[in-house]
Amino acid sequence: MILYDYHTDNNGYYSPGPGMPEKAKRHGHIRGWVKTGADGRYAIYTIRPAPYPNRNAQAHIHPVIREPGIANEYFIDEWLFDDDPLLTPEIRRKMENRGGSGIMKMRTSGDLQIAERDIILGLNVPDYPTK
């Protein structure tokens, strides 16, 4: 499958990169595509996004899934960080768990923060094709 993800910069904005086409600016310059291996594994190396300024929204990453044999891509739950103080119990309860839980527990290895996110294709995705 192909995973497209995008998120805010370290100030909470979808900041455009130099020379970006106008249509691409909506998602900012911190975005990318990755194709999973045959075993379904993938890795993304990025910064930890900041929450939107002056709002109570949690820091998050937007993931979009493109599966072989399925005509349209689809969104799964935003990836949230378990240690985010803005991630309240109420928000946790309201999550749809599209593709499985989007809440990621962080661990540290040297200077890196590491999160793992298993995606369950089609789980809780409206109108997901059965065949």
**Whether pLDDT at 13 is above 90:** yes
What per-residue confidence (pLDDT) applies to 131? 67
**Mean pLDDT for the stretch of residues 11-30:** 93
pLDDT digits (tens, 9 = 90+) for 79-113: 999 999 999 999 999 999 999 999 999 999 999 99
The answer to whether the beta carbons of residues 86 and 56 sit under 8 Å apart is yes
What per-residue confidence (pLDDT) applies to 24? 87
Question: Whole-angstrom Cα distance, residue 44 to residue 70?
Answer: 23
User: One-letter amino acid identity for 127?
Assistant: D
The answer to whether the beta carbons of residues 102 and 115 sit under 8 Å apart is no
pLDDT digits (tens, 9 = 90+) for 35-61: 999 999 999 999 999 999 988 899 999
